[in-house]
Structure formats: structure tokens, C-alpha cells
Amino acid sequence: MSVFELPIGPELDLHAFAPGDVVSVVEDYLTECRARGVLRVRVVHGRGRGVQRAIVRRSLERLPFVLAAEDAEPEHGGWGATFVTLRPLDAGTQGPV
């Protein structure tokens, strides 16, 4: 297994990742975005048959700091991308929630 660093920002394109890695990539990426104050992220999963989209959405449902997840507007990928809104870290909060 090779390890590499992704630049953290408001977009995560999953096309480069193996399907078996998607859940951990999404969860780790969003956790790091939140830690850095990036609270709105576009996750690009592609259109296809919707399998990847469903995997991403199920993953997001398990994260307690995800406030909302919705299809991107047509000009930003439509149902081929999901916009995720994250709960900010509170100054007094320790840990991932």
C-alpha cells in the first residue's frame, strides 16, 4: 500500500481512487477539511449507475459532523457530485465530533 498526501481544499475528486478506498478517503478527507476550517466540500463521485454516489452518501450519514449532503447544482456536476456541509469545530470541543 502506498501513502501519499492530498492537497486539502473545497473539492475531492474520487476518480483516482479504488472503489474499496472511497469510504476511508472521504471520511479522512472531510475530517481534515473540518480541522482546517474548510466547511463546504464538493465530492466528485461521477454519474455512472450511481453506485459510487450511494457509497459516498452512506458514508456521510455515519459522520456526526456532516450537517448536509446534497446533489451539486447542474453547473457543478449535478448528481455526479455531492456538496457536503460540515459542522465547524467549537473552540471548546475536543475530538472529531
Q: What is the CATH number of the domain that holds 81?
A: 3.30.1370.110
Spell out the alpha helix ranges (H) of 6-80. 22-35, 51-61
Please indicate, yes or no, if residue 95 is contained in any of the structural domains.
no
Please indicate, yes or no, if residue 25 is contained in any of the structural domains.
yes
Please indicate, yes or no, if residue 45 is contained in any of the structural domains.
yes
**What are 54-96's pLDDT values in tens digits?**
999 999 999 999 999 999 998 998 889 999 999 999 855 555 5
The mean pLDDT value of the chain amounts to 90
Residue length, the chain? 97
Please indicate, yes or no, if residue 91 is contained in any of the structural domains.
no
Please indicate, yes or no, if residue 15 is contained in any of the structural domains.
yes
Please indicate, yes or no, if residue 67 is contained in any of the structural domains.
yes
Say whether pLDDT at 3 is over 70.
no
* Domains held by the chain: number: 1
pTM: 0.85
Residue 50 is predicted with a pLDDT of: 85
> Which single residue is written with the C-alpha cell 465547524?
88
Confidence band, pLDDT 50/70/90 cuts, at residue 48: confident
Please indicate, yes or no, if residue 97 is contained in any of the structural domains.
no
Domain that holds residue 57: 11-86
Please indicate, yes or no, if residue 68 is contained in any of the structural domains.
yes
Cα–Cα distance between 25 and 37 in angstroms, integer? 18
